[in-house]
Amino acid sequence: MNLADLNTVALAMVTPGKGILAADESSGTIKKRFDAIKVESTEETRRDYREMLFRSQEAMSRYISGVILYDETIWQNARDGTPLIKLIEQAGAIPGIKVDEGTQPLPNCPGELVTAGLDKLAERLKKYYERGARFAKWRAVIDIGKTIPTMTAISVNAHALARYAALCQAAQIVPIVEPEVLMDGDHDIDRCYEVTERVLNKTFQEMRVQRVALEGMILKPNMAISGKKSSTQASVEEVAQKTIRLLKACVPAAVPGIAFLSGGQSDQEATAHLDAMNRIGGLPWRLTFSYGRALQAAPQQAWAGKAANVAAGQQAFVHRARMNALASKGEWKPDLEQKAA
């Protein structure tokens, strides 16, 4: 492991004013997205859609530091034969790859999940590195309910995240460590805070045990936020203040950066929360975005599977990327959204 090189890549992933495009939707997830815009999900339509994003020169070169790819995408070529991964590199962004293989039920823990994919991961990472991937992503899913999460679910998922991170660094690939506490329930922000604190503390404990070099990784956490079904929705300021307090309590200063997931927030909510956190200032790590739906929902709607709409789709992508790039510097304003509308 060359830690200096890993650190260089990790810092580039959180370059001020840039963030990470999560374009790693599984075939099942992107089918749901395409169903919503009445586009058939085929290998060709998925390729065309992602090619549209990666050829959006303004967004990719000015606002995107890296792209998380799905296994199918990393091997695909654009319509003119150029490997999609090359389009990302040509724009000055870093290609990355989702390496987990989804979730499965956790034995003896009803309603809880564990992420699969550690088997043969070392061999897969070698192939991805040869293809050009310089970072990877693994997502653990923690749900909140009346009797969950159990410590079993937190421990098993934290252990897997740390194993994955250690394997990535051995393969000279920067791991994005993503322990996601879901916002699907009716819990309030304080319950989210408490669960996320337990999850982050256990994850960093496991990474210390497994000798993961913190300078060569990126954390991709959820924000401290109210559940979607909660009767009390926290304000933007409360989300920002409590998320920063949580991170200061749990995340070592050695971590180069934190790239938040959007987790089902609306486009503008995700942007506003990131902006409010960056306005607080005085933080030991860089804060940016690693959004999927919050960057892509608008481009998908504008594109709608039609070649004639590619320019409109790219313009929508540029706008969302720019808004989040501003938020990553604490420079976003709501009226910027209205001007573009």
Q: Over the Cα atoms of the chain, what is R_g?
A: 19
User: Residue type at 8?
Assistant: T
Query: Cβ distance 29 to 151 under 8 Å?
Result: no
Nearest to 171 by CA among 253, 99, 92, 254: 99
In whole angstroms, what is the distance from residue 340 CA to residue 53 CA? 19
Read off the DSSP letter of residue 83.
Answer: B
Neighbours of 33 (CB within 10 A): 18
C-alpha to C-alpha distances, 102 to 137, 202, 203, 273, nearest whole angstrom:
12, 21, 19, 28
What is d(CA 41, CA 47) in angstroms, rounded to the nearest whole number? 10
For helices 310-327 and 293-303, angle between their N-to-C axes, nearest 10 degrees? 160
- Which amino acid is present at 53? L
Q: Which residues does residue 215 pair with via DSSP β-bridges, in sequence order?
A: none
Q: Shortest CA distance to 280 belongs to which of 237, 332, 249, 246?
A: 237
Strand 94-98 to strand 64-69: parallel, antiparallel, or no bridges (unpaired)?
parallel
34 contacts 45 by C-beta, under 8 angstroms: yes
Angle between helices 310-327 and 267-280 (to 10 degrees): 30
User: Is residue 242 among the annotated active site residues?
Assistant: no
In contact, 245 and 283? CB cutoff 8 Å: no
**Candidate list 18, 98, 202, 220, residue with the active-site label:** 220
Q: Which residues are catalytic?
A: 220
